[in-house]
Structure 1
Amino acid sequence: MAEISVYEYLGEEFFFELVDKFYQRVALDAELKALYPEEDLKPAQERLAFFLIQYWGGPDTYSQQRGHPRLRMRHQPYPIDHTMREKWLACMLGALDELSPIDPPYSMMKEYFNQAALAMVNTISY
């Protein structure tokens, strides 16, 4: 039996729900929300959903619309220190926990979000 992707295992709707719950949390944190260029978080929400869908084995809609993800480059204009990383990660992992996914996808996603958030840090704060 062939191994299936996380996308196939969880389904596309899971990613839209995850991102919706994530941005509900972001909207409640004024400092974190201030990093987003749009007052309306819907465009960012759509971009993240399509990115995660593609990353976890779904259609490449994100790349068709936006090109290569280039995450570090896209996040470079925004001051992301370890505090902001922790805030972002708390929102994402809280959303993930709220959906109560089962392993192995949960542990894989948690590890990915930890590593991806660390890679976005571009500012040292004292």
Structure 2
Amino acid sequence: MSDTVVTVSIFERIGGPVVIDRLVESFYRRMDEAPEATRIRAMHADDLASTKQVLKRYLTEWTGGPKLYSPEKGHPRLRQRHIGFPIGSAERDAWLLCMRGALAETVADEAARGELDAALTKLADWMRNQAGNPHDARGGHA
């Protein structure tokens, strides 16, 4: 009997690249359809093909799958990459609405879905760059 502990990544637990693909497609479909997401959808190009590919590569790597994002883009630097877009609580909430709907639709493993939701919520909070952001220029993260 072995005492070896095998750690299974979220990427593997949710179903790998097929589920990441479905998640991103569902997320952007919701962004196109949800009235609450009109403002954040307007921050994106009309054609979402390249944006979807970038998010798929990012989420694959972020969830513990193959390194598909960093070899091409380097360190994510998400706040820096999004600094030109006004992201306040309303934008965060719209983003989370779309992402939570996509998670519910595509991730069958409840525990993994909950872990992803918690991590994505923390990330969405950190991305805010408008009033009320605890990480703004008044002493938060740069």
The two structures have a TM-score, normalised by structure 2, of: 0.82
Shift of 1:100: 4.4
Alignment deviations for residues 21-68 of structure 1 (CA, whole Å, 9 cap, x no partner): 0000112232121111x2111111111111010011111111111111
Residue among 8, 19, 27 paired with 1:22: 27
Tell me by how many angstroms 1:104 deviates. 2.2
Aligned residue in 1 for 2:56: 49
Q: Which has the larger radius of gyration?
A: 2
Paired residues of 2:92 and 2:128 also in contact (CA < 8 A): yes
Q: 1:70 aligns with which of 70, 74, 77?
A: 77
Q: Amino acid of the residue matched to residue 33 of structure 1? A: R
Q: TM-score, normalised by structure 1?
A: 0.92
| Alignment-mate amino acid for residue 93 of structure 1 | R
- Deviates most, 86-95 or 41-50: 41-50
Q: Which secondary structure state, in structure 2, belongs to the residue aligned with residue 80 of structure 1?
A: coil
- RMSD (Å), alpha carbons: 1.4
Give structure 2 stretches of 5+ with no counterpart: 133-142
Instruction: Confirm or deny that 1:9 pairs with 2:17.
Output: no
Matched, 1:87 2:105: no
| Over 2 Å off, 4+ runs | none
Superimposed CA distance per residue, residues 58-106 of structure 1 (whole angstroms, 9 cap, x where no aligned partner) = 1111111111111111111100010010000000001101124213211
User: Does 1:33 pair with 2:29?
Assistant: no
| Partner Cα separation in structure 1 for residue 60 and residue 89 of structure 2 | 26
